[in-house]
Structures are given as structure tokens and as C-alpha cells.
Amino acid sequence: MFKKTIVCFTAFAFLAGFTAINNAMAETDKGPAEMVLQATVDAAKKPKPAEFPHKKHQEELKLACKECHHGKGADGKQTPYVDGMKIEKCETCHYKAAGMDKKIATFKDAAHTNCKGCHKEMKKGPQKCKECHKGSDDKE
């Protein structure tokens, strides 16, 4: 009886430890703290890069990944983000794809719609070009 208890306890401890490590690893991979967002598809009209404080959006603003990220289904339509989903580059889809809403057809359009829209709604964060695009004029 005592041996069975020890074996069961050991197995339980192993599984609990594995689950805790797995959850901790998933929790720590939240992407880079700082990012530079740069459109690359249309090299002829390459806009200035935007500085993006990724960690600040997660920790200070308490935004969940699904607030900004999503996927694409087999039918080509947007699917909601789920924990653990591979996050693709925005330009994987937002590159003047046929049939896409013009407001989000390019990476620049999608970022401006999503980011500037959120900043205006929250009445917080940068809303002028040079606040994100360092060294740019106000024509973005």
C-alpha cells in the first residue's frame, strides 16, 4: 500500500511539475519588449518605421494578445486569436490582397486603423505621425 502511494504521489508530482513548467514557458514567451514595425512588401513606397513598445502594451496597459493579433482561416477570413497561436507577420495577409477592405489592405493601413483607432478611443497614446515614426513629417 505504501509503495502504491509513493508511486502515485511521484507520478502526480511529475505531471504537476511538467504542467507548471509548460505553463511558465508559454507565459514567458510574449514576444520582444520593443519592436520596430516596418512595411516591407512595397519597397518603392517604404514608409518610415514605427517604434512600438510591445511590453508596455502588455504590462502597463494590460492588453491581451487577442486585442491586436488574429489569424486567418482556410477560407481566407479573419479568425480570433487563441492562446498559443503562431503570430504571423501582418504583411502575410495585409499586402493589398484582393477583396480586402481598403482601410486594412496594407500593413500600414491595418496598423493605422488598429493602433490609431485604439489610441483615439482610449484618448491615450500617440496619435500624430512623428510620435511613432521618429524623424518623420506629419504626413503619414
What gap in Å lies between CA 128 and CA 62, rounded to an integer? Answer: 23
CATH number at residue 124: 3.90.10.10
Structural domain that includes position 51? 32-132
Based on the domain organization, do 75 and 127 belong to the same domain? yes
Could you state, in chain order, the average pLDDT of each consecutive group of 10 residues for the chain (140 residues)? 54 47 53 90 74 93 93 90 90 83 90 92 90 69
Based on the domain organization, do 99 and 118 belong to the same domain? yes
Based on the domain organization, do 94 and 113 belong to the same domain? yes
What gap in Å lies between CA 49 and CA 28, rounded to an integer? Answer: 26
Based on the domain organization, do 43 and 59 belong to the same domain? yes
User: Quick one: pLDDT at residue 1?
Assistant: 63
- Structural domain includes residue 108: yes
What gap in Å lies between CA 94 and CA 110, rounded to an integer? Answer: 7
- Structural domain includes residue 88: yes
- Structural domain includes residue 10: yes
| 39 exposure class (CB count in 10 Å sphere: 0-12, 13-18, 19+) | buried
User: Quick one: pLDDT at residue 100?
Assistant: 84
Maximum alpha-carbon separation in the chain: 77
Q: Residue 25 phi/psi, 5° resolution?
A: -65, -45
* Total count of domains within the chain: 2
Based on the domain organization, do 56 and 3 belong to the same domain? no
- Structural domain includes residue 16: yes
User: Quick one: pLDDT at residue 77?
Assistant: 86
Confirm whether pTM is higher than 0.75. Answer: no
Report residue 1 as a C-alpha cell: 500500500
User: Quick one: pLDDT at residue 26?
Assistant: 47
User: Quick one: pLDDT at residue 30?
Assistant: 84
User: Quick one: pLDDT at residue 7?
Assistant: 46
